[in-house]
Structure 1
């Protein structure tokens, strides 16, 4: 079953975050992932949740998402993100097969 990675990001160094973005796409593609949401405008419908940036990724399964997150390729990008932003990230199994 497909998996979604949800990421809430608060950027404090926009220039460095742009560098992070340059390194990320190839790592996601390598593990069968794709962007579903990438920084689109959000609007809170309930509660006080209003992330500065929200990213949702889709992977073939939870293991592929974990393999991507722990990969040497993404670790390089991840270390840049750690310097440029504060993030919260989780993985969840999707109800639908990938791409549907």
Structure 2
């Protein structure tokens, strides 16, 4: 079943963000992830959101693949870099298909 990983991101250091992206792209590819949305500004229909927020949405073949990606040794350095250059919220959800 397809699973989706969604991120809300506010960048604080654009130079470090590029380092994060390099690591993350490698990890996404390694675990069969596909970018559906990259670094896009959301249009809020209900509720509020910081106007600096960007959204990234990935798809994986399963929840296990999404979890394996996030908890992998390949992605671990990206998590460390992310902590230095952005604020973010990340969730995964089963696509239900």
TM-score by length of 2: 0.92
Aligned ranges 1:24-39 → 2 under 5 Å = 24-39=24-39
State how far apart, in whole Å, the 2-side matches of 1:92 and 1:16 are: 28
**What's the CA shift for 1:49?**
2.6
Q: How many residues align?
A: 96
Which residue of structure 1 aligns with residue 82 of structure 2?
A: 81
State how far apart, in whole Å, the 1-side matches of 2:94 and 2:49 are: 22
State how far apart, in whole Å, the 1-side matches of 2:66 and 2:83 are: 19
RMSD of the TM alignment (CA)?
1.2
Aligned ranges 1:1-100 → 2 under 5 Å = 1-50=1-50, 52-96=53-97
5+ residue gaps in structure 1? none
Runs of 4+ in 1 over 3 A off after TM superposition: none
Secondary structure of the corresponding residue to residue 90 of structure 1: strand
5+ residue gaps in structure 2? none
**What's the CA shift for 1:95?**
3.1
TM-score by length of 1: 0.89
State how far apart, in whole Å, the 2-side matches of 1:89 and 1:41 are: 16
State how far apart, in whole Å, the 1-side matches of 2:91 and 2:47 are: 19
